[in-house]
Amino acid sequence: MRLSHVSHQFDGHLVLNDIELHVSPGECVAIVGPSGSGKSTLLYILGLLRKPDQGAFFMDERDVFELDEEELRLLRLHEVGFVFQQAHLIPYLTVLEQLELIQEKRKIDAKQLLTNLGLGHRLHQLPTTLSGGEKQRVAVARALVNSPQLILADEPTASLDYENGRRVMELLAEQAHEEGRRVVVITHDERMLDVCDRVLRVIDGTLTEVNKEERHHEDRFDAIDK
Ligand SMILES: Nc1ncnc2c1ncn2[C@@H]1O[C@H](COP(=O)(O)OP(=O)(O)OP(=O)(O)O)[C@@H](O)[C@H]1O
Ligand SMILES: [Mg+2]
């Protein structure tokens, strides 16, 4: 999966400038960077929710930006799983029903998936009866229910305490390391970066690899900027 020469501007301001990004199966990539640097924009492009002004996005050898709306809709449903900062569960559906609502084919057992994420005893409860960490794990399960090849998460731990946030990050990384999926996660929490294989920083529209020695410094910088 590869973004090639991707550029995007909003109101004359170049947010992403000639971005190259390759994510391999089994890889968990963290994206960091100051507020407003374009992290979410990059994630929406990867999630096929935004088409950039320029560039290509190769998934299985074809440039998906060349596809028509219906083909894109199907790719989004089958190949991409999204987790946001808030769980965004539907208040009147039980935990199990949240998954069944969007499950396309019965490729995987939703009950088993929820059980694997530590929610086996919560299947028939409504979101109002769950803790923040449990809600976010339901959101992760929902992102996985159609077995997507690409999992994207935009600050999925921001509304959680450290322990629950850590658990969610580990679940995401496991999807890469044990299931061979591609995971891209935006985070501001430097304590979460060690579960990822690579850390990339968005700044001034470009993407640079942060090496492990630099990580601590980079994230402090990031926190001050925010
Ligand atoms: N739909 C839009 N229309 C106009 N400008 C936008 C739009 N979406 C984002 N922007 C602008 O593009 C820039 C990057 O926004 P983006 O949401 O990608 O940043 P971010 O790195 O995710 O920030 P944060 O850490 O605060 O979430 C910002 O200057 C923002 O105001
Ligand atoms: Mg953002």
CA of 101 to the centre of ligand 1 (A): 30
Mutate to test the pocket of ligand 1, among 15, 45, 85, 201 (most ligand atoms within 8 A of CB): 15
Give the number of the atom of ligand 1 that is nearest the alpha carbon of residue 43: 18
Q: Is the CB of 33 under 6 A from ligand 1?
A: yes
The residue whose CA has the least distance to atom 17 of ligand 1 is: 40
For the stretch 74-128, pLDDT in tens is 999 899 999 998 999 999 999 999 999 989 877 789 999 999 889 999 999 999 9
Q: Which atom of ligand 1 is nearest to the CA of 42?
A: 18
Query: What CATH number does the domain containing 114 carry?
Result: 3.40.50.300
When divided into structural domains, the chain yields a total of 1
Query: Nearest residue CA, atom 22 of ligand 1?
Result: 40
- Each residue of 167-225: pLDDT tens digit? 999 999 999 999 999 999 999 998 999 999 999 999 999 999 998 666 655 444 444 44
Q: Which ligand is nearest to the CA of 45?
A: 1
Taking the centre of ligand 2 as the mean of its atom positions, its distance from the CA of residue 160, in whole angstroms, is: 17
Domain assignment of residue 118, given as a range: 2-225
pLDDT tens for each residue of 50-74: 999 999 999 988 999 999 999 999 9
Quickly list DSSP for the chain: -EEEEEEEEETTEEEEEEEEEE--TT-EEEEE--TTSSHHHHHHHHTTSS--SEEEEEETTEEGGGS-HHHHHHHHHHHEEEE-SS----TTS-HHHHHHHH--S--S-HHHHHHHTT-GGGTT--GGGS-HHHHHHHHHHHHHTT--SEEEEESTTTTS-HHHHHHHHHHHHHHHHTT--EEEEE---GGGGGGSSEEEEEETTEEEEEPHHHHHHHHHHHHHH-
Task: Judge if the beta carbon of residue 10 lies within 6 A of ligand 1.
Answer: yes
